[in-house]
Amino acid sequence: MITTIIGEHRLSTAILLASVVGGMFILSSLRRPRGRGCTISGPKPWPLLGNIVGINMNAPWLSYMNLTKEFGKIFLTTAFGLDIVVISDEAIARELLDVRSSKYSGRLSYPTAKPYGFDFHTAYRDMQLRKAHQLVTNILESPDNHREHIQTFASSVILSAAYGYQARPIKDRLVEKMTHTLEVIIQAVSPEKALLVGLLPFVKYIPSWLPGGSFNAASCRKSIGELSHGPFLCLKETIESESSVPSLGYSGVSRQSQISVNAPWASDQQLAQDVCLSAFSGEEQFSHPFTFSTLFVFVLAMVLHPKVQERAYAEIMSVCGIGRIPTFDDRQALPYVDAVIRETLRWYPVVPMGIPHTATEDDIYGDDLIPKGTIIIVNVWALTHDEARFPRASEFIPERFLTDEGTLTDERVDFAFGFGRRVCPGNHFADASIWAAVASMITAFRFEKVKDEQGRDIDFEPAWASGTTSYPQPFPCRIVPRNPGFDENTLSRL
C-alpha cells in the first residue's frame, strides 16, 4: 500500500499568514482576466481562498481523485481567484490537450521563475549505457550510497548530452552542483512555494541565513549561474579545439559561431550559455528529476516485490547469459523488463499532477465555457490508478502490460510525460536513460529488505517527498551483487 506524507502543517501556516497579510497581493498578482468565468461545475469555493481548504497540498492528486467521485472526470477548482480545471480521464485530456492543442499550449507562469533565475530559453545511447555501467560500478563499491549514485547517473547523462562534459565517476563537483541546483529549482516551482511567493513577494528577499531563507531568490540565481559557467568553459574548449564530442550545446554553439564569424567569442558568450541552458529550460528541466525519481521508485518496487525482479533477471539471463549487461539491441527481446518500467511509471507516477497547461483562447467543451487563461491540470495519478483500466491499481503487477503470449500489449503510460504541446521534450531521452539503468541494475543486483538479527525481513512503510516531483524518501535497502565475479573490471570490457 502506498502512503503519502501528510505534512500539511507547513503549508497551513503559510496559507494562514498569506490570508492575513497578503490580501493586497492577491488582486494585483493573481487577478484573472475580466469576462465570463469557467462554467464547468466543481466544489463550492470558500471566499478568497477558493478550494484550497481540505486539499492536501503535499499530495493534491489524492484529494482531486476523491473529488471525481462527486464531480466527475473533469471539474473546476479555484485558488485565490485562479480557475483550475482538473482532468482525470485520458480521453478528455487528449481531446483538449492533443486534438485542440493550439488552444491549450500556454505555459503556466510561475511567480518564482524570473526572480529565481530559471527563465532561460531557447546518438546518446552509447553514452547512456556507459553511464549505466558506471552506476553499477558505483553501487558495487558503496551500495549504501545507492541514492547518491542514482542522482549522479541522472545528472551525468544530462551534462554529457547538454555540454559533452565527462563527469568523474563519483564526487564530481559539477554533478553535485547540478543535483543541488535542480533540487532548488524543483522546490522553487513547487505549488506551495510558488503560491507563497505570488502572495508575499518579499519572501524571496529573506537572507539565506535567516529562518525562511530557503526562499532566497539571489542564492538560487547564483547556483544556476555557477551551474552553467563550469561546463560551459569545458564546452568552449571543445569548440575551439574543433572536437566532435556530441552535445546539444556543441551543436547550438557551433551553429551560432558560424553565423557570427565576424563577432568576437566574448560577445556571443551569454548567448552560447543560453543555448546550453536550454537543455534545462521549461519542461526540459523535468527530464533530470523524472529520471532519478523514477529510478528511486523502481528500487523501492524491487525491494517490495522480489518475485518481479527475479522474473526480470531470468529474462535477461535467457537473452544475454551471465556476465553481459543488455544493450539497446536487446530491448525488443526483453518485454518483461519494459513491462516493469511501464508498471513503475504507472504504480507511482513521479509527476502525479502532470505539467500544467493554460488556455490561450476561449473554448467550449460540451456545453461549458473554458475561458482564456484557465489553468488545465491532468491528474496523472487518477489516470494510472483507474480501477476500471488498471484492476488492483495499488499493487505492482508488470504482467498487466503483457499478452498471454508474453509480448507487450498496446497499453502504455506515455501520458506520464505530459500531453499536447506541453509534453516533456526530453521524454525519449529519459526513457532510454531509465531503461539502461533498470536493465543494468537488474542484471547486477538483488534489491532486498534489511533483515533483523534473527534473519527476518524488516518491514517498513514507504514515505514520500513532495514537490514538483514526488519520490520515495530514504528507506532500508540491502543490495546484493548477483555474481561476485561481476565487478568493475567486467564492466570495463563491455
Q: What is the pLDDT of residues 185-217, one digit of tens each?
A: 666 655 556 666 766 777 777 776 667 666 677
In a domain, 390, yes or no: no
**Do 237 and 296 fall into the same domain?**
no
Same domain? 479 vs 335? yes
Instruction: Give the mean pLDDT of 63-88.
Output: 91
Nearest-angstrom CA–CA distance, 218 and 176 = 19
Whether 164 and 248 map to the same domain: the answer is yes
Q: Determine the 3-state secondary structure of 135 from DSSP.
A: helix
- 153 plus 191 within the same structural domain: yes
Judge whether residue 379 has pLDDT over 50. Answer: yes
Left, alpha or beta for 171 (phi > 0: left; psi -120 to 50: alpha)?
Answer: left
Cβ proximity of 215 and 206 under 8 Å: yes
Give the pLDDT mean for 307-323: 94
| Final residue before a domain boundary, out of 250, 284, 318 | 284
The answer as to whether 118 is a domain residue is no
What are phi and psi for residue 361, nearest 5 degrees? -160, 165
Is 424 annotated as ligand-binding? yes
Q: Which residues of 284-306 are buried (b: 16+ CB within 10 A; e: fewer)?
A: bbbbbbbbbbbbbbbbbbbbebe
The residue assigned the cell 480521464 is 89
What pLDDT was estimated at residue 234? 58
In a domain, 310, yes or no: yes
| Residue 362 pLDDT | 93
Q: Domain range spanning residue 313?
A: 286-353+396-492
- Mean predicted confidence (pLDDT) in 416-421: 71
Q: Are residues 249 and 336 in the same domain?
A: no
Model confidence at 80: pLDDT above 60: yes
Domain containing residue 436: CATH number: 1.10.630.10
Sign, CA dihedral 173-176-179-185, equals negative
Angle between helices 287-304 and 306-320 (to 10 degrees): 110
Cell 536513460, residue? 433
Q: What is the pLDDT of residue 461?
A: 93
Q: Over 459-486, what HEC string results? A: CCCCCEECCCCCEECCCCCEEEECCCCC
Confidence of residue 21 (pLDDT cuts 50, 70, 90): very low
47 has a pLDDT exceeding 60: yes
Work out the pLDDT band at 52, boundaries 50, 70, 90: confident
- Whether 346 and 451 share a structural domain: yes
Is 119 within a domain? no
221-235, 357-371, 402-416, 437-451: least confidently modelled range: 221-235
Whether residue 403 is found in the same domain as residue 319: yes
* Number of domains within the chain: 3
Task: Answer yes or no: is 387 within a domain.
Answer: no
Same domain, 68 and 168: no
Last residue of a domain, one of 256, 284, 312: 284
| The three grid cell numbers given for residue 1, joined into one nine-digit string | 500500500
Whether 443 maps to a domain, the answer reads yes
Of 224-228, 384-388, 482-486, minimum mean pLDDT range: 224-228
Among residues 268, 284, 300, the one where a domain terminates is: 284
Task: Output the pLDDT for position 111.
Answer: 57
pLDDT at 185: 63
What pLDDT is recorded for position 63? 92
What pLDDT shows up at residue 223?
66
Kindly state whether residue 386 falls inside one of the protein's structural domains.
no
Q: Span 339-360, mean pLDDT?
A: 91
Do residues 264 and 327 both lie within one domain? no
Cell numbers placing 360: 490561450
Q: What is the pLDDT of residue 155?
A: 83
In a domain, 389, yes or no: no
Per-residue pLDDT of 421-473, as tens digits, reads 656 656 778 889 999 999 999 999 999 999 999 989 999 999 998 766 788 99
* Per-residue exposure over 390-410, b if at least 16 CB sit within 10 Å of its own CB, e if not: beebeebbbebbbeeeeeeee
pLDDT at 239: 46
- SS3 state of residue 33: coil
Q: How far apart are the C-alpha atoms of 324 and 318, rounded to whole Å?
A: 11
Instruction: Looking at the structure, tell me whether residues 477 and 450 fall in a common domain.
Output: yes
Q: Is residue 297 located within the same domain as residue 238? A: no
358 shares a domain with 337: no
163 close to 235: Cβ distance less than 8 angstroms = yes
For residue 144, pLDDT over 80 is answered with yes
The string of DSSP codes covering 325-345 is ---GGGGGG-HHHHHHHHHHH
